[in-house]
Structure 1
Amino acid sequence: MGRLRVHNFTISLDGFGTGEGQAPGAPFGHAGERLHDWMFATRYWHEMVGGDEGSVGADHAFAAMHGRGIGAEIMGAGKFGPPGWQDDPGYKGAWGSNPPFHTPVFVLTHRPRPSIEMEGGTTFHFLDASPAQTLERAREAAGGLDVRLGGGVSVIRDFLAEGLVDLMHVVQIPILLGRGVRLWDGLESLEEAYAIEAVSTPSGVTHLTFTARTR
């Protein structure tokens, strides 16, 4: 059975995974793109957008683990699109005609709609289901490969609260957001369920890897 993995999920020093005021053109609210500056500097990111520059150190190595062995993705409504996208029957996500997932993607929403098949192997499926039910569907679609949990913050928190996440890579960066949506709220004593390793890099970020203890 494939694992459920989180990769490259970035939070501020005060634990916010997104800022306040999400809107079209501002998917991370007042945080802007600051949460992901560390990744934009890596060779991994430059290769994703068709370039050959960027750093090849530890940040690159962690970032590049994002797509390895993934057969399906789960995401929340807030990652699929800005507030109000459910009112647009023609909306197909924030990534254009060829999204970067190239797998089945299960979008959690209280307003499901028919599946959307995109270029490059991505098909969006819309579910109003519990975390456990959604993971079961995603694992069936993944064909034995792992499932990636893409966010946003509240979705990852819900799956953690139910003990469903097998591996989580969180990147803590040296900024303070002060407001937004925090990852750790309601997850007291999470460390009891996970072995945690921390690696700090010259860019000033800390990579935290959570590996589920034997259940």
Structure 2
Amino acid sequence: MLAKNPERHFHLIARCRRIIGFLSSTFVGVFYRFRYETPIDWSKPYIICANHTSNLDITALVLLCPSDFSFMGKIELLNNPVTGMFFKTIDIPLNRQSRISAFKAFKRADDNLRKGRSMVIFPEGHIGEEFPPHLYDFKNGPFKLAIETQVPIIPIVIHNAWKIFWDEAKTFGSRPGIIHVQVLEPIVTSGLGLEHADRLRDDVHQLIKKHWTKAGGL
């Protein structure tokens, strides 16, 4: 019923996602510990950028962000029985092979931000196949979007999700545990122009890499 009018019921759908994320994690014994570099004012919209090594990263960010937000992710997530529910309603699927799809996806993201909703975008664009994982180069899209909307970026470091659940648990299985998530200080984009997008992208990449490497993935 909520799916018939996702814009109207956005908050309720987002709340349902948080409940599902909490219950499913608790049931399998996976918990999340968040450490903040500085307090976050969640009444404001942000672009949340995190490293991506495990499907558990999605739940980590669902439980992290108490305000309404949308994920932007690969179009294949529409076919997943869990993520598909939300990518057909409040989240934004993206086909990177189609310029039209990319344009429409970032237009929707722009609209969301201007309505005061945050966006979660994994700037690597995928989970790598190497084990142990490493940090890939970032795509430009999230950083151009942040500058165009003058919205701050929150860099997130998800340290050890891959040690608990990696590659759909086909290779190493899964186990209960605590996932450590580090929330870094928001990076203000006000006053930046699109000519600064590449520098912003590289700065965020280096910041996440520094903290992730320092902690050794825990």
**TM-score, with structure 1 as normaliser:** 0.37
**TM-score, with structure 2 as normaliser:** 0.36
Kindly indicate which of the two structures has a greater share of residues assigned to strand.
1
Kindly indicate which of the two structures has a greater share of residues assigned to helix.
2
